[in-house]
Structure 1
Amino acid sequence: MSYKVAVIDIGTYSTRLLISGIHEKDSLEETLRSVDDILSVGRITSLGRNLKETGYLQREAIDETLATLREYVLIAKEYKVERIIGYATAACREAENGNEFLEKAKQLGIEINLITGDEEAYLSFLATAYGLSPEGSFVVVDQGGGSTEFAYGIKENGGYKLESSVSFPFGIVNLTEKFIKSDPPEKKEIEDMRRFITPYIEEAYGKMKECREIIGLGGTITTLVALEYHIFPYSSQKVHGKRLTREAVKKWLDKLSSMTLTERKRIPQIEDKRAEAIISGIVIFDTAMEVFEKDNIRVSDWGLRHGAVIKYIMERFSSNRS
C-alpha cells in the first residue's frame, strides 16, 4: 500500500513544505527506507520578526505566512495527499497572539501541532538518525529562527535512542535583532553575541560531551555547504551529508561579517532574506564546534519535516499492528 503525506514546518524564520510518498512494507525499517521526497519547498516568511520586542506576531508577518500556507495547501491537494500536518515552533509558543494565528492556519485545512522545544529536538533527532545513519554517539544542533535545539543520540542494537535534549531560547531572528546594529556588523557585536550564547551551549556540552560527532541542521549551515562546495542552484542531494571544517566555518564568518547586507545579498547561494540573519547562525555553529571541541561538523539537509514523516510512519505502523 502506498500513500502521500504533507508536512509543513511553520518556523520563526521560514515556512517549509515536504510532500513524501510512503510505501508500506512488511517491516518498519523497510517502510522507512521506502520513503520518497516528492516535493520540498521553503520560503523565508520571518513570522517571528520583532517578537522579542513586542510580544506579538506582527500583522504583516501573519499575512505573509498565511499566504504561503494557502499556497502549500493547494499544492498538497494537487498531489492528493492523505493528510496535511503542520508543526508550529518557537514563535507560536512565545507570542501572545500565537493561538489566534494557529486558528487561522487550521481553517485552511492543516492539522496543527504546537510543539515544545523538546518535541522539536526529538523530530530533529529522528531526521538525523534515519537521514544520515550516524555510528555511535552524536549531537544534533538544530538552529532555528527563535530557538536552537541540541539532541544527544546513540546507536545501539541496530536502532537509535535519544538520550537527552535541550532547547534554548535563541535563534537567528532574535539574536540578529538583539545584537547586530551595524552594517557590516562590528566585531564587538559578534563577540557580545558569542558571550551570550556560550553559557547555554556549555550547558548542553555538560550533558552531551561524550558524543563522537556533531551534526548541523538548518538553513544557515546548509547555505555554508553550498558556499564552500560551490553548489548553485541549491541541491539537497549535493548538500546532504557533507562536512564542514571549523576552519571553513570561521572563514565564512569572517568573510560574510565583513560585507554589508547588500553585498551578502549579491552572493547567489544566499537568499535575500537569509542574508540579514546568516551571521548569527554561523556564530551559533562556530561556538558549538568550539565548546564541543570538534574540528568538523556533518551537515544534514533533513530537518523537522523529515522527522515528522518518520514519526508519522512509526505511529501508523505501530497502530496497524496492535
Structure 2
Amino acid sequence: MNYRIAVVDIGTYSTRLLISAVHIKPTLEETLNSIEDVFSVGRITALGRKLKETGYLQEEAINEVLSTLKEYVLIAKEYGVEEIIGYATQACREAKNGTELLEKVKQLGIDVKLITGEEEAYLSFLATAYGVKPEKDFVVIDQGGGSTEFVYGEKNSKYSLKASVSFPFGIVSLTERFIKSDPPKKEELEHMREFIVEKLSKIKDFGKAHQFIGLGGTITTLVALENHIFPYVSSKVHGKVLKRDSIKKWLEKLSSMRIEDRKAIPVIEDKRAEVIISGIVIFDTALDFFGKDSITVSDWGLRHGAVIKRVMERFND
C-alpha cells in the first residue's frame, strides 16, 4: 500500500512544500528507504522581516505566507495527499503574534505545529541520517533565517542523536544586526564572525565528529554556483562536497558586490541575494572554528525529517 503526505515548512525566511510518496514495506527500515519526493517547491517569504526590531510578524509578511500556503494546499490536493502537516520555527517562536498566524494556517486545513529549536534539530538529524547516510559520526549545520541548529549524530548499529543546540541566529537576524553597508564592510563581517565564534565556543566538542554536513539555501546555492548548476536540480546538489577554500572564495567574491550585482547572478534568487553573505559567514566561521576542510551538502532538510518522523509514528501505532 502506498500513500502521499505533504509537509509545509514555515520558516523565518522561506515557506516550503514537500509532497512525498511512502511505499509501505514489511519493515520500517525498508519503508523509510522507499520514500521518494513527488513534488517540492519553496518561496522566499521573509516572514521574519523587522521581527528583531518590532517583536511582531509584519502584516505584509503574514499575508504573503498565507497566500503561499493557500497555493500549497491546492497543489497538495491535486496530488491526492492523505494529510498536510506543517511546522513553524524561529520567527513564530519569537514573535508576539506568532500564534495568531498559526491559527490562520490551521483554518487552511494544515495540521500545523510550532516546534522548539530542539525539535527542529531532531528533524534535521533524521533528514541527514536517512538522506545522506553518513558512515561515521557527523555534525549537521542547519542554517535558517532565524535560527541555526548544530546537531551531533552517531553511527553504530543504527543512527542516534548525541547532542544538539539551536542558536537563535540566522541569515535574516545576522544581516539586520551586523550589515549596514552595501557592499558590507570588512569590519561588519568580522563583528559577525566574532559573534558566531562566541556562540560556537559552547560546543567545542562537536569538532570531534568525522563529517560535517550542511543544510539550507545558502550552502545549496554555493554548490550550484561552484558547479554551474542552473536551473537548480536537487539531485545534482545533494551529496556534493564543498571545500573550505571554495566557501572562502565565494565569500570574498560575493561580499565585494552590491546587492543589485548579486541579484544579477541567475543562480542566486533576488531575495536571497540580500542575505546570502551572512549565511556564508556562518559556514565559513564554523569550518574554521572546528578545523574542518570540507562540508558535505544535503538538499534534505526539515521537511524530509518530518516525513521520516511521521512514517516512524505510523509504524509504531
TM bucket normalised to smaller: over 0.9
* Structure 2 counterparts to residues 47-86 of structure 1, below 5 A: 47-86=47-86
Counterpart in the other structure of 1:165: 164
In the alignment, which residue of structure 2 is the partner of 1:185? Answer: 184
Provide the C-alpha distance between the structure 2 equivalents of 1:148 and 1:203, rounded to a whole number of angstroms. Answer: 14
Instruction: Indicate the SS of the match to 2:245.
Output: helix
Give the 5 Å matches for 1:1-322: 1-157=1-157, 159-206=158-205, 208-319=206-317
The amino acid that maps onto 1:195 is E
Amino acid corresponding to residue 143 of structure 2 in structure 1: Q
SS at match of 1:263: helix
Q: In structure 2, what is the Cα distance between the partners aligned to 1:161 and 1:202?
A: 23
2:204 and 2:64 map into 1 onto residues whose CA distance is 37
Structure 1 portions without partners, runs of 5+: none
Q: Deviations over 1:235-277 (max 9, x none)?
A: 1000000000010000000000000000000001000000000
DSSP-derived class of the 1:315 partner: helix
1:290: how far off? 0.6
What SS does the corresponding residue of 1:46 show, helix, strand or coil?
A: coil
- Partner AA of 2:85 in structure 1: I
- CA distance in 2: counterparts of 1:288 and 1:119, whole angstroms: 22
- Tell me the secondary structure at the aligned position of residue 274 of structure 2: helix
> Once the 2 structures are TM-superposed, how far is the Cα of residue 205 of structure 1 from its aligned partner?
2.4
Q: What percentage of aligned pairs have identical amino acids?
A: 70
In 1, distance between residues paired with 2:156 and 2:180?
Answer: 47
Cα distance between partner residues in 2 of 1:149 and 1:222: 16
| Deviant stretches of 4+, over 6 Å | none
SS in 2 for 1:270: coil
Q: How far apart in 1 are the matches of 2:197 and 2:296?
A: 21
- Tell me how far apart the structure 2 counterparts of residues 178 and 190 of structure 1 sit (CA, whole Å): 11
The offset of 1:213, in angstroms, is 1.1
SS of residue paired to 2:145: coil
**Residues 264-322 of structure 1, C-alpha deviations (whole Å, 9 max, x = no match):** 00001000000000000000000110111000000000000000000000110111xxx
Other structure's SS at 2:208 match = coil
Q: Take 2:77 and 2:298, find their aligned partners in 1: how far apart are those partners?
A: 28
- Paired residue total: 317
**TM-fit CA distance, 1:162:** 0.2
Q: Secondary structure at the match of 1:151?
A: strand
Structure 1 residues 99-142: Cα deviation after superposition (integer angstroms, max 9, x where no partner): 00110000000001100000000000000000010011100000
> Structure 2 counterpart of 1:279, which letter?
I
Amino acid at match of 2:169: F
Amino acid at match of 2:238: H
Deviation per residue, 1:150-203 (Å, 9 max, x gap): 00001111x100000000010000000011111111101100100111111221
Q: Distance in 2 between matches of 1:284 and 1:213?
A: 17
TM-score by length of 1: 0.98
The answer on whether the counterparts of 2:207 and 2:291 sit within 8 Å (CA) in structure 1 is no
Shift of 1:13: 0.1
Give the SS at the match of 2:257: coil
Cα offset, 1:209, TM superposition: 2.6
> Contact 2:51–2:95 at 8 Å: present in 1 too?
yes
SS at match of 1:273: helix
Coordinate RMSD, CA, aligned: 0.6
